[in-house]
Amino acid sequence: MKQEKNLFYVLVSAGEKSTGGYSLNLEDITFKDSTVTIKIKETSPARGKPVTQAFSYPQLVLKFYFDYSAVKNILVTINNVELSNL
């Protein structure tokens, strides 16, 4: 995460995958009780569908504005699993 005044950047990575066909998609960003919650959905390639036979590194970069003084925590979840409290 990088923060400039009221502008935040968050990079979410799903790590190394053995093939293509994976992606990360933003489901929701909410702000409540001084916490920004970012919900991400990771999708996998459908069974039986052709995929790139190469390592891939799904990533998502988010840029958003919030009043810096109001934000105390940033919570990121992928498929409802908490990654960390930034």
Grouped pLDDT means (10 residues each) for the chain, 86 residues = 76 94 96 92 94 95 85 90 73
Give the model's pLDDT for residue 85: 54
Phi, psi of 18 (to 5 degrees): -80, -15
Residue 64 CB contacts under 8 Å (≥ 6 apart), including other chains: 7, 8, 10, 29, 36
Task: Please state, as a whole number, how many other Cβ atoms lie within 10 Å of the Cβ of residue 38.
Answer: 22
Q: Give the pLDDT score at 86.
A: 57
Question: Tell me, what's the pLDDT at 68?
Answer: 76
Per-residue confidence (pLDDT) for residue 1, from 0 to 100? 63
